[in-house]
């Protein structure tokens, strides 16, 4: 596991070379918020990182319910039974193993590794705009129907889940990158993902922190390029159908 810090944001990267999976610790005055829960074997590394920082993890916020973002959830909940678990109302259904679409959603199948046997029940169902400590929840559907990004209102660091990928080339969720195609393969609806990516750009983040790949400081130019590329490619693909 590799730890990288930018201000109050710590990136914990598991398997950084082979198949990088990130989760994040956000430092508050007396406590830590864990964003996403990486892989089942990540429990130990996450607890060690919190110990190094010297504050307790009191909240776990899940950006979405894919297996590589909730892997250590049950393991952590066993060790930290008092932790409060947050996920969007929509992705709570995925967390419970339900892949059915809701009325009014674009008719594309929910993809990726949706867990089948997670024991942990979320304590709080997030809606767009909710606050969790210094974090503001920002609905960013597309990769999954209920994906939430989190904006640290102190620094404007944006923890964007899989709304973007950085590994294999910075891209909007749904745009296939040859060297790391997995986030695109797991994306529910790219048009919705592009809309959300545009909305996240409007927040003018100071740091872009995603599920797969390194953190990027001052990311606006890079995000703009990714938005342009996605708009062009998604448009061409749509024209070919
Ligand atoms: Zn995902």
Q: In what order do the strands lie in the sheet with 135-139?
A: 131-132, 135-139, 148-152, 157-159, 207-209, 216-217
Ligand 1 mean position, distance from CA 64 (Å): 7
Check if the beta carbon of residue 66 is closer than 8 Å to that of residue 186.
Answer: yes
Ligand 1 mean position, distance from CA 125 (Å): 19
Single pTM value for the model: 0.96
Nearby residues of 130 by Cβ (< 8 Å), 6 or more positions away: 124, 136, 137
Strands, E assignment, the chain = 2-6, 9-14, 21-27, 32-35, 57-61, 84-88, 124-126, 131-132, 135-139, 148-152, 157-159, 164-165, 171-172, 207-209, 216-217
* Pairing relationship of beta strands 148-152 and 157-159 according to DSSP bridges: antiparallel
Check if the beta carbon of residue 194 is closer than 8 Å to that of residue 230.
Answer: yes
Ligand 1 mean position, distance from CA 17 (Å): 18
Ligand 1 mean position, distance from CA 223 (Å): 19
The alpha carbon of residue 115 and the mean position of all alpha carbons in its chain are separated, in whole angstroms, by 16
Ligand 1 mean position, distance from CA 212 (Å): 9
Ligand 1 mean position, distance from CA 66 (Å): 5
Residues near ion ligand 1 (Cβ under 5 Å):
66, 162, 186
Residue 17 has pLDDT above 90, yes or no: no
* Percent of the chain predicted with pLDDT > 90: 95
Region 152-172: what's the mean pLDDT? 97
The residue whose two tokens read 């598991």 is 14
Q: HEC states along 146-167?
A: CCEEEEECCCCEEECCCCEECC
Ligand 1 mean position, distance from CA 78 (Å): 24
Residue 241's pLDDT is 58
Ligand 1 mean position, distance from CA 206 (Å): 23
Q: Quick: pLDDT tens for 81-134.
A: 999 999 999 999 999 999 999 999 999 999 999 999 999 999 999 999 999 999
């Amino acid at each position: 596991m590799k730890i990288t810090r930018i201000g109050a944001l710590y990136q914990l990267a598991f398997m950084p070379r082979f198949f990088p999976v990130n989760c994040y610790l956000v430092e508050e005055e007396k406590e830590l918020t864990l964003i996403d829960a990486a892989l089942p074997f990540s429990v130990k590394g996450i607890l060690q990182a919190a110990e190094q920082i010297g504050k307790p993890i009191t909240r776990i916020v899940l950006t979405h319910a894919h297996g590589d973002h909730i892997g250590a959830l049950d393991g952590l909940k066993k060790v930290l039974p008092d932790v409060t678990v947050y996920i969007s109302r929509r992705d709570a259904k995925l967390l419970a193993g339900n892949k059915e679409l809701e009325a009014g959603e674009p008719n594309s199948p929910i993809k990726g590794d949706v867990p089948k046997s997670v024991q942990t029940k979320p304590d709080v169902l997030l809606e767009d705009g909710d606050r969790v400590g210094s974090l503001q929840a920002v609905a960013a559907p597309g990769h999954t129907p209920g994906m939430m990004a989190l904006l640290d209102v102190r620094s404007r660091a944006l923890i964007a889940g899989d709304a973007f990928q950085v590994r294999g080339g910075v891209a909007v969720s749904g745009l296939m990158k040859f060297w790391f195609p997995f986030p695109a393969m797991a994306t529910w609806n790219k048009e919705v993902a592009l809309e959300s990516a545009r909305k996240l750009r409007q927040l003018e983040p100071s740091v872009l922190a995603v599920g797969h790949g390194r953190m990027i400081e001052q990311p606006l130019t890079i995000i703009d390029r990714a938005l342009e590329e996605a708009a062009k490619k998604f448009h061409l693909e749509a024209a070919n159908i």
